Structure 1
Amino acid sequence: MTRLINDPAAFADEMTEGFVAAHADRVCAVPGGVVRATEVPAGQVAVVVGGGSGHYPAFAGLVGAGLADGAVLGNVFASPSAQQVVSVGRATERGGGILLSYGNYAGDCLNFDAAQERLRDSGIEVRTVRVTDDICSAPISERGKRRGIAGDLVVFKTAGAAAAQGLPLEQVTQLAQRANDRTRSIGVAFSGCTLPGASQPLFTVPEGRMAVGLGIHGEPGLDEVDLPTADGLAQLLVERLLAELPEGVERNSHAAVLLNGLGTVKHEELFVVYRKISQLLEDAGVSVVAPEVGELCTSFDMAGVSLTLTWLDPELEDLWLAPADSPAFRRGTLSPRPRRAGLTAATPEAEEIPPATDGSKAAAGLLVELLSAVEATIETNVEELGRIDAVAGDGDHGIGMQRGARAAAAAGRAAYSRGAGAGSVLTVAGDAWADKAGGTSGALWGMALRRMGIRLGDQAGPTAATVAQALHEARTAITETGGARLGDKTLVDVLIPLDETYRRTVDSGSGGIEAAAIAAAEGEKAAAATSDLLPRTGRARPHAERSLGTPDAGAVSLSLVARTVHTTLSTVLSTTTGR
């Protein structure tokens, strides 16, 4: 377990601060992550990688000459926000465009795609390569759904080396994509990992057994077998990967080989396993090129390993062997480069607050109380939300909601103190939620609050009817962006009943508090009913059966918020009216 922590919600930020202090000669902090501290030639393609924290040396440890120019760092096991990606992207761009590369997870795709659009709108050319090396996460017929694990190192190294050669963005992208298409990985675990501040691991493996096909976010394996010997494990890993050769690849080819420790398997054990892997690959006719044995993409204290094969052609082999110098991965020698000038980690200035009417400002004060109440509710339930999420997911939902709710409440209070109306309080809170929470959930909550704020505006006090319209627009934004539908076992299973019930109750002539009470009750029923559903989207999808009997964490958190809104409204309004 992770023992050395302060506030679990601050773990990722404090980890980044310490990492930068330890490697100030190579990296510099910027809002959202880290970038190279040394000079980059003008016109060179910027390679920006990223994902959730908890996987060091991925992603921060791979920033340096010949590798990545910047790494976007999300919260523990949660994707970074779109704003973080934009911030790091702008700090790295030198006129040659940006290649974004990251593991193929729903939250990462959602946030990086949103950032890509924003960067393109500002005139920067951007391309994307998603890493999809994990053969256990989807069949070959659905390879686009596979997640990225330790194979990301080869893809990032290929892109970084190609960029360092001065190749244009289109060619850098094609080479990185080719590396991904030729990369295959498989992982196993002997015990689960424990998130900072948590008392229990995300999953357990019985003594003498081994989980096969696990994910790097603590997602349990897809199969379980008796714990083999080191040679037996080597044979299992090699046989699985050799059974799925990329199109056009023969066994007697050159391959980059990565034997990756996931957290607590020591180098000595890895070398014992690699001894047999090397023999098996040689017997199969594979020519191994510059193998890597060690911690390359971890999962906190998970006891496990993964094996990666990247089938190299001559061009990819040259890029794999090219020099690189980063905190965690070095190859060959590079000439010293001067430190970048004028790079600062200054935080963005606060946006101007639009003028608001007195009625809207009064409503803004009520919204600030609601945001504070939501923050308190999430703080109370953070551990339970994490426990629910860990049944079939990665267990980060509680911490993500905690970070988002804290940021939203603080941003709402600050905006209100500067004279913001109701709409501006919600839009500012939504942006803060998305930025600090990260992940799919953070992006969707931020989008919902922003959409509601835009609908309410700052020129009139909200009514039950306009709140109903705002809630419906939030629903539309989430369903259109996230793609989830009723029955997929997501927060949408609560959001749609909430929206429809509130709107129907208001249309029948009821007031806002009564409608909120009825809608909250309907939301609680809907959240409980997700226990009987199988997830059809997100990280829980490969472990659908495990989630039966447990409600969806996102659905539960939304129902908690809905009930908190009703309770707070009832208390505040009854106090102000004397009822």
Structure 2
Amino acid sequence: MTYLFNQPSAFAAELIEGFVAANADKVRQVRGGVVRSTRSKAGTVAIVVGGGSGHYPAFAGLVGQGLAHGAAMGNLFASPSAQQIYNVAVAANNGGGVLLGFGNYAGDVLHFGQACERLRADGIPCELLPVTDDISSASVSEIEKRRGVAGDLAVFKVASAAAEAGHNLAEVFRLAQHANQRTRSFGVAFSGCTLPGATHPLFEVEKGHMALGMGIHGEPGIKDTLVPRADVLAEIFVDNLLSELPAGVAAAKGQRVAAILNGLGSVKYEELFVVYRRVAQLLASAGVTVVEPEVGEFVTSFNMAGASLTLMWLDDTLETLWHAPANAPAYRKGSVIVAEALSPAEREEPVQETLPEASAVSQQSAQRVLLLLEAMAQQIQSSAEELGRIDAVAGDGDHGIGMERGVLGAVAKAREVAARGAGAGTLLCRAADAWADQAGGTSGALWGVALTAIGTALGDQQEPDASRVATGVRHAREGIMHFGKAQPGDKTMVDVLVPFSDHLSQAVAQGASLSDAWQQAATVAHDAAQATAQLLPKMGRARPLAEKSLGTPDAGAISLALIVNTVGSLLHDKTPV
């Protein structure tokens, strides 16, 4: 369990505040995470890493000279939003472009991808680097689907050292990809973790057993077995990693590797040293030379009991970058020249965001949109427990909580900007950013995409009409399918959004009012959501346990149907957009 916290909802924000207070000589807080508080070389590439909180030292503990320039920090086990990542990247930018590094999880892929597009649109060169080191999470033939675990450290270290050496963005990206392609990890779990305020673990492992290949958020592993002796665990680690050599490594004998034995939260350093003792023996027997090994906690899972072994197969270039000095709060290597601290003025955050000018009619429409968001929040709050139950059948059960966090964040932001005279379009776009910020994860990203698309279509000058709303919904559908990659039949919210959008556009084209068209489409959405019970999931965390979900509808599809039907009821009651 977790012993020390105040309000569970404030845990992530408070840990960032405390982390910065304890490491002010190296980091400063910005909206969305932390960046260096020391001066970096002008014109160099900035390495921005990130993911959910709860994995310390990843990701904030790796910010400092010789390592990352910034870290975007989401809520516990939830991806940072695109807005948070964008904020951190802009603050970290040195003028040489930005490389965004993250573990290969659906929410992170969505949010970092959106942030990358925004940075490029603003003229800041940007590249994406999803780390894919966990060999248990997908086969070699689907290596691009693998998760990022403790290999994050090896890949981020190489990328950061390359940036520090003055390489341009293309070369830093190439070297980081090279490091990722030559990095492999394998992990085990003995027990799950319990988040602040929770009475039960987020996931569990049968007592006395060990889950081979379980992910750091409880993603399914390969199989369960009895907990072995330390030496046997070392053999499991080494055997699995030596059984899959990366391209370009013909045989293990004669190779040099960077080794990372990582504790996931509750396995202590003394235990890790006992395991590493045997790991070192086994690698030596295989003719493998270990270069500057690391034993400790680098990518954790809150208080999860487990461990993983990472090997990065070195060549001359990778070894030079692995040796390079670094000085971050949780990772130090070599002799680091102390960098110049930023001045107090340079540490200041920008003033409050400005709002685009809006017409009086759009400001009035914004008030009506706010009423719709408030009604959506009431519906989601009353349904959150059931949405979590549905999601837990084959997922991690957090969909209801995430949707509740997201919609409440959106309402709070919408109230703020409405009071400052925002138009309907800006209100929805700012609410979208807040939804993604607060919800995190895949659903947070997708709802951010959806509200942004509709808000952009509405604009801030004209009164929204049926055609403009239908266009916004169509753009939301296109955006979600572009970023989320799901197609109809994959058992996701897309199975509801596509027919809803089609029927809304068709009814509007035939001359129906917004209220009538929306209600017709909402009925179709309800039926489509229920029909997902007969589908097998092909995306997300439910995919490995697909058969378990047969007969249960998709939680994301149900929540979308609930929302569009709630909006339809209000439109019918003459609460027009």
Q: Contact conserved, 1:102 with 1:131, CA < 8 A, in 2?
A: yes
1:165 is matched with which residue?
165
Q: Contact conserved, 1:116 with 1:126, CA < 8 A, in 2?
A: yes
1:356 is the counterpart of 2:356:
no
For residues 461-514 of structure 1, what are the alpha-carbon distances to aligned partners after superposition, in whole Å with 9 as ceiling and x for unaligned?
444454334323322322233221111111111212333344455667765555
CA distance in 2, matches of 1:428, 1:393: 29
For residues 274-310 of structure 1, what are the alpha-carbon distances to aligned partners after superposition, in whole Å with 9 as ceiling and x for unaligned?
2222222122111112222221101112221111111
Please, which of 495, 498, 514 is the counterpart of residue 497 of structure 2?
495
Q: Which moved more, 1:246-255 or 1:25-34?
A: 246-255
Q: Contact conserved, 1:179 with 1:310, CA < 8 A, in 2?
A: yes
1:294 is the counterpart of 2:296:
yes
How far apart are residue 368 of structure 1 and its match?
Answer: 0.8
1:416 is matched with which residue?
418
CA distance in 2, matches of 1:28, 1:436: 21
How far apart are residue 340 of structure 1 and its match?
Answer: 1.4
How far apart are residue 396 of structure 1 and its match?
Answer: 4.4
CA distance in 2, matches of 1:550, 1:201: 23
1:529 is the counterpart of 2:551:
no
Q: Which moved more, 1:328-337 or 1:142-151?
A: 328-337
Q: Which amino acid aligns with 1:116?
A: C
How far apart are residue 566 of structure 1 and its match?
Answer: 3.4
CA distance in 1, matches of 2:482, 2:132: 24
Q: Which moved more, 1:564-573 or 1:438-447?
A: 564-573
Matches within 5 A, 1:240-255: 240-249=240-249, 250-252=251-253, 253-255=255-257
Q: Contact conserved, 1:203 with 1:390, CA < 8 A, in 2?
A: no
The verdict on how the C-alpha distance between 1:367 and 1:97 changes in structure 2, with shifts beyond 3 A counting, is closer
The verdict on how the C-alpha distance between 1:366 and 1:97 changes in structure 2, with shifts beyond 3 A counting, is closer
Q: Which moved more, 1:565-574 or 1:234-243?
A: 565-574
1:79 is matched with which residue?
79
Q: Which moved more, 1:21-30 or 1:170-179?
A: 170-179
The verdict on how the C-alpha distance between 1:48 and 1:419 changes in structure 2, with shifts beyond 3 A counting, is closer
Aligned-residue identity in percent: 57
How far apart are residue 155 of structure 1 and its match?
Answer: 0.7
2:485 is matched with which residue?
483
**SS of equivalent to 2:211:** strand
CA distance in 2, matches of 1:98, 1:420: 32
Q: Contact conserved, 1:203 with 1:220, CA < 8 A, in 2?
A: no
CA distance in 2, matches of 1:5, 1:530: 39
CA distance in 1, matches of 2:323, 2:97: 24
Q: Which amino acid aligns with 2:19?
A: F
2:38 is matched with which residue?
38
Q: Contact conserved, 1:132 with 1:148, CA < 8 A, in 2?
A: yes
1:221 is the counterpart of 2:221:
yes
Q: Which amino acid aligns with 1:251?
A: A
Q: Which moved more, 1:435-444 or 1:143-152?
A: 435-444
Q: Which moved more, 1:150-159 or 1:444-453?
A: 444-453
CA distance in 2, matches of 1:404, 1:233: 41
CA distance in 2, matches of 1:484, 1:570: 31
RMSD after superposition = 2.5
Please, which of 331, 334, 353 is the counterpart of residue 332 of structure 1?
334
The verdict on how the C-alpha distance between 1:504 and 1:465 changes in structure 2, with shifts beyond 3 A counting, is same
**SS of equivalent to 1:402:** helix
CA distance in 1, matches of 2:25, 2:370: 43
CA distance in 2, matches of 1:117, 1:348: 24
Matches within 5 A, 1:154-553: 154-249=154-249, 250-252=251-253, 253-341=255-343, 342-347=345-350, 349-358=352-361, 360-464=362-466, 466-503=468-505, 512-513=514-515, 515-553=517-555
How far apart are residue 139 of structure 1 and its match?
Answer: 1.0
The verdict on how the C-alpha distance between 1:509 and 1:130 changes in structure 2, with shifts beyond 3 A counting, is closer
1:125 is matched with which residue?
125
**SS of equivalent to 1:44:** coil
How far apart are residue 59 of structure 1 and its match?
Answer: 0.4
CA distance in 2, matches of 1:9, 1:498: 34
Q: Contact conserved, 1:45 with 1:94, CA < 8 A, in 2?
A: yes
**SS of equivalent to 1:372:** helix
Q: Which moved more, 1:93-102 or 1:56-65?
A: 93-102
CA distance in 1, matches of 2:502, 2:399: 26
Matches within 5 A, 1:41-120: 41-120=41-120
TM-score (norm 1): 0.91
- Report the count of equivalent residues: 573
Q: Which amino acid aligns with 1:499?
A: S
1:22 is the counterpart of 2:25:
no
1:150 is matched with which residue?
150
The verdict on how the C-alpha distance between 1:198 and 1:551 changes in structure 2, with shifts beyond 3 A counting, is farther
CA distance in 1, matches of 2:4, 2:350: 28
Gaps of 5+ in 2: none
Q: Contact conserved, 2:81 with 2:433, CA < 8 A, in 1?
A: no
The verdict on how the C-alpha distance between 1:467 and 1:386 changes in structure 2, with shifts beyond 3 A counting, is same
Q: Contact conserved, 1:49 with 1:70, CA < 8 A, in 2?
A: yes
**SS of equivalent to 2:291:** strand
CA distance in 1, matches of 2:348, 2:87: 10
CA distance in 2, matches of 1:391, 1:195: 20
**SS of equivalent to 1:57:** coil
**SS of equivalent to 2:185:** strand
Q: Contact conserved, 2:137 with 2:221, CA < 8 A, in 1?
A: no
Q: Contact conserved, 1:222 with 1:543, CA < 8 A, in 2?
A: no
The verdict on how the C-alpha distance between 1:149 and 1:88 changes in structure 2, with shifts beyond 3 A counting, is same
1:140 is the counterpart of 2:140:
yes
For residues 139-197 of structure 1, what are the alpha-carbon distances to aligned partners after superposition, in whole Å with 9 as ceiling and x for unaligned?
11121221211101001111222222333333322222221111001111122223444
CA distance in 1, matches of 2:318, 2:18: 34
Q: Which amino acid aligns with 2:353?
A: A
The verdict on how the C-alpha distance between 1:91 and 1:267 changes in structure 2, with shifts beyond 3 A counting, is same
CA distance in 1, matches of 2:504, 2:296: 55
CA distance in 1, matches of 2:233, 2:573: 61
Q: Contact conserved, 2:355 with 2:426, CA < 8 A, in 1?
A: no
For residues 421-465 of structure 1, what are the alpha-carbon distances to aligned partners after superposition, in whole Å with 9 as ceiling and x for unaligned?
433322332233234433332222122112212323344444445
CA distance in 2, matches of 1:8, 1:525: 36
CA distance in 1, matches of 2:484, 2:89: 24
**SS of equivalent to 1:102:** strand
How far apart are residue 21 of structure 1 and its match?
Answer: 1.3
**SS of equivalent to 1:290:** coil
**SS of equivalent to 1:88:** helix
Gaps of 5+ in 1: 575-579
Q: Contact conserved, 1:353 with 1:418, CA < 8 A, in 2?
A: no
Q: Which moved more, 1:155-164 or 1:463-472?
A: 463-472
How far apart are residue 329 of structure 1 and its match?
Answer: 1.0
CA distance in 2, matches of 1:458, 1:338: 45
The verdict on how the C-alpha distance between 1:400 and 1:159 changes in structure 2, with shifts beyond 3 A counting, is same
How far apart are residue 75 of structure 1 and its match?
Answer: 2.0
CA distance in 1, matches of 2:551, 2:284: 47
Q: Which moved more, 1:247-256 or 1:520-529?
A: 520-529
1:577 is matched with which residue?
none
CA distance in 1, matches of 2:415, 2:28: 31
How far apart are residue 132 of structure 1 and its match?
Answer: 0.8
**SS of equivalent to 1:487:** coil
